[in-house]
Structure 1
Amino acid sequence: MKKTYHTPILLLLLLLNFSKSNAQVDSVLVSNVEFNNAKYNNPHAGSGFLLEYKNKIYAITAKHVLFFAKTDSMKTVSFNGDLKFWEFNSKVLPNKKIIAGKLINENSNELIEMPPKGDWLIFETNKNIPKNVAIYQLREDPLKLGEEVYFLGYPYKSKKSINIKGTYIGLTKDNNLRLNVPKGTYNGCSGGPVLDKQGKLVGLVSMGYFNEKENKMIFEPASLGYFIKTIESYIDTKHKL
């Protein structure tokens, strides 16, 4: 399995989706979701990415994309046996795909609602990872006020990913990130990675709005806390079995 890691030297090239050898490197993916009943299929339910944690690779997107990737009977964070597959696909090379495995934070008691309780969907990966797909690492130390960050994603109907620079301006009351980013239409980017200048993952594209009083776009990515808590509990449970 070939892993593509971010370093400061490669970051700018990576965000442009090219490596040193000009081979296509996918720094962000698209969720392609199919159900047993094809009328609920969604080839672009949101953006997504791969994340390595303690030598395991997970496929990640935003929990709220379930509003756009569910059947009428799905009321909770559970597929109820209706899911045919969930893939994370390259937008540039559609045959490059990662088939998601088990949904680690599936919960038939958790309603699909806004705002979600930790806006992460965390899947196992059960197939070999294709070459030239970025695999992110978590940043260990907290962001500093005023620090530059970047978020990646695929807006709906766009053939190209976007790389938007913002500024970290603090935390929400739920300890998610608050970013000042350029005003824009970013629908479809939910579930994309939020990175520091070194390419380390600091959050996940979640919600945003335009603050008319302050005349600026406020982005509120989901922080790493929910992921770490969820995956540590999952690992601990597996070790006890």
Structure 2
Amino acid sequence: MALSNDNVSYAAFLSLDQGSSTGSGFILSFKGKEYIITAKHVLFDGERLRCDSLLITSQNHLGEIDDAKTVVIDEMSEIKIVKSHDSDIAAIFLEDENHFRVEQEGKNIISIQEDNIDKLEDIRIANNILLIGFPTSLIIEGARFFDVNRPLLRKGIVAGINSKDNTFIIDCPVFYGNSGGPVVEYKENGEIKLIGIVSKYIPFVTEWRNNRESAFSRQEFSNSGYAVCVPIDEILTLLSK
């Protein structure tokens, strides 16, 4: 199954402890098993789990809420999770149905397959990318600009590759809630491949100093429009083991 822009329901909205925190992720089918992939920091604060329960919603950006697939994990401490030691990426195993329940099956929900994936070594600078996620921090109380359950899409390019840190950079602004969201690359042959997940935005820092007392200073952080992403290589290596 080739990826296209018509159905991005493999993207997953993660609501921790009934919305106390949120993140993005995606559904991965790997060697006959199903996983939810996301950024490690979405689920963990150091080694401590951030939540007791998790609601996972997958819905195409063109679909209705009745078309969504919803999975509930009531006891996160009971579910199997594998996380990278060095990279900001983790996988939730959806294999033991005693530890999660499917509340709604959904309609036309797809997952990322092994042949939909390219590794870091296959990423090409300046190729177009598509970021898919759920930036809940853009929601303003009293104003409804978008449906939080539907993924928002954003285009950019591969701006840089940092092989030493096993990361790549996109020229695409991300916001709180985008963490863990899938990034796909448009290849020269027309194919679309998943290449990684969003880890964090790169800030632009402005420092202000008092012209009479240089010891008094203030820093302001703004979004530079660039983001750090983790390639899918690391989690595939862990899952293979």
Q: TM-score, normalization: structure 2?
A: 0.66
User: Which runs of 5 or more structure 1 residues have no equivalent in the other structure?
Assistant: 16-25, 35-40, 68-73, 111-116, 234-241
- The equivalent residue for 1:29 is 12
- The equivalent residue for 1:196 is 185
Is contact 1:78-1:106 (8 Å) kept? no
Identity of aligned residues (%): 23
Is contact 2:174-2:201 (8 Å) kept? no
Structure 2 distance, partners of 1:47, 1:6, is 22
- Pairwise CA distance, 1:66: 3.2
SS in structure 1 opposite 2:130? strand
Change (3 A) 1:120 1:103: farther
SS in structure 2 opposite 1:64? helix
- The equivalent residue for 1:88 is 56
- The equivalent residue for 1:98 is 71
SS in structure 2 opposite 1:65? helix
Q: Tell whether 2:201 aligns with 1:208.
A: yes
Which residue of 88, 109, 131 maps to 1:119?
88
Question: C-alpha deviations, 1:103-137, integer Å up to 9, x for none?
Answer: 33269xx7xxxxxx311120111457644223013
Structure 2 distance, partners of 1:222, 1:189, is 13
Change (3 A) 1:52 1:65: same
Structure 2 distance, partners of 1:44, 1:6, is 32
Amino acid at match of 1:147: N
Q: Tell whether 2:122 aligns with 1:149.
A: no
- The equivalent residue for 2:232 is 224
Structure 1 distance, partners of 2:29, 2:57, is 18
Is contact 1:99-1:125 (8 Å) kept? no
Structure 2 distance, partners of 1:125, 1:226, is 19
- The equivalent residue for 2:167 is 176
Alignment coverage as a number of residue pairs: 190
Structure 2 distance, partners of 1:89, 1:42, is 12
- Pairwise CA distance, 1:56: 1.6
- The equivalent residue for 1:55 is 32
Q: Tell whether 2:23 aligns with 1:46.
A: yes
* Higher normalized strand content (fraction of residues): 2
Which residue of 76, 87, 93 maps to 2:47?
76
Is contact 2:12-2:58 (8 Å) kept? yes
Amino acid at match of 1:153: G
- The equivalent residue for 2:110 is 134
Is contact 2:183-2:198 (8 Å) kept? yes
User: Which runs of 5 or more structure 2 residues have no equivalent in the other structure?
Assistant: 140-145, 207-222
SS in structure 1 opposite 2:122? coil
Structure 2 distance, partners of 1:28, 1:166, is 18
Question: C-alpha deviations, 1:138-158, integer Å up to 9, x for none?
Answer: 225611121111110011134
Q: CA RMSD in A?
A: 3.2
- Pairwise CA distance, 1:78: 4.5
- Pairwise CA distance, 1:185: 5.2
Change (3 A) 1:13 1:43: farther
- Pairwise CA distance, 1:65: 1.4
Structure 1 distance, partners of 2:11, 2:21, is 13
